[in-house]
Copies of this chain bind each other. A is one copy, B any other.
Amino acid sequence: MSVEPYQIRVLAVDDHPIVRQGIASLVGIQTDMVLVGEASNGRDAVQQFRNLMPDVTLLDLRMPEMTGLDALIAIRKDIPNARIIVLTTYAGDMQILRALKAGAQAYLLKNTLHTDLMQTIRAVHAGRKALSPEATYEIAEHATDDVLSPAEVLVLRLIAAGNANKDIADSLSIAEETVKSRVKSILSKLGANDRTHAAMIGLKRGIIEL
């Protein structure tokens, strides 16, 4: 039995055991990779990364305890050249952009084929970057759109929670009229008919979470 001299050391982070099992099984088949660890939430992911120093990390975004995005940020703060592939179900353009800005080398959807996933691991390990077609499309789709300001995102979140402008004003300690101008701006930037539409678009695009 020959031992591979150079193997890519992979860390898998996902809150679904079945997905981790799938990754483990796929990586196990490859002769040039080895799975060195698993984590089921963001906190564990950061911990595991520190301990294991993997070459490539597969990271889901939606997780309990600590978001994949927060884990990504924490890891890259520790080790700025960490190689991380975001592997998730969801493709809102804002979600993708934030992950890339936080230093992800690749963004793949879970409907990616086995072979593409393995190729991406090798590519990222070699220092290249990758985006799934859907991710590319989503970003291109909204490339020319105005981006919501942090203040506007706050208002949008409160809108989605079912608050009236007055309530939003109170909980943000600003004038109701200010809220109204922000709402107007949100509707215009998102191309929404009304606040309900805006909330749904915000969800679809990964600007707010359910």
Interface bin, chain A: 35 or more
- CA–CA, A39 and B151, complex, Å: 44
The reply to whether B21 and A25 form a contact with Cβ atoms under 8 Å apart is yes
- CA–CA, A197 and B195, complex, Å: 10
- CA–CA, A199 and B199, complex, Å: 9
The reply to whether B210 and A193 form a contact with Cβ atoms under 8 Å apart is no
Look across to chain B and name the residue whose beta carbon is closest to the beta carbon of A191: B162
Instruction: Check if A148 is an interface residue, CB within 8 A of chain B.
Output: no
Look across to chain B and name the residue whose beta carbon is closest to the beta carbon of A110: B16
The reply to whether A161 and B17 form a contact with Cβ atoms under 8 Å apart is no
Q: Which of B18, B196, B197 contacts A26 (CB 8 A)?
A: B18
Q: Which of B112, B114, B192, B203 contacts A162 (CB 8 A)?
A: B192
Contacts of A194 in B (CB 8 A): 162, 164
Instruction: Check if A15 is an interface residue, CB within 8 A of chain B.
Output: yes
Instruction: Check if A22 is an interface residue, CB within 8 A of chain B.
Output: yes
Contacts of A18 in B (CB 8 A): 19, 22-23, 26, 87, 110, 112, 114, 117
- CA–CA, A139 and B141, complex, Å: 38
Instruction: Check if A136 is an interface residue, CB within 8 A of chain B.
Output: no
Contacts of A192 in B (CB 8 A): 162
Q: Which of B16, B26, B197, B200 contacts A21 (CB 8 A)?
A: B26
Look across to chain B and name the residue whose beta carbon is closest to the beta carbon of A12: B18
Most central of A25, A161, A193, A198 by chain B CB within 10 Å: A25
The reply to whether B16 and A196 form a contact with Cβ atoms under 8 Å apart is no
Instruction: Check if A1 is an interface residue, CB within 8 A of chain B.
Output: no
The reply to whether B203 and A17 form a contact with Cβ atoms under 8 Å apart is no
- CA–CA, A180 and B26, complex, Å: 54
Contacts of A43 in B (CB 8 A): none
Most central of A24, A163, A164, A196 by chain B CB within 10 Å: A196
Contacts of A106 in B (CB 8 A): none
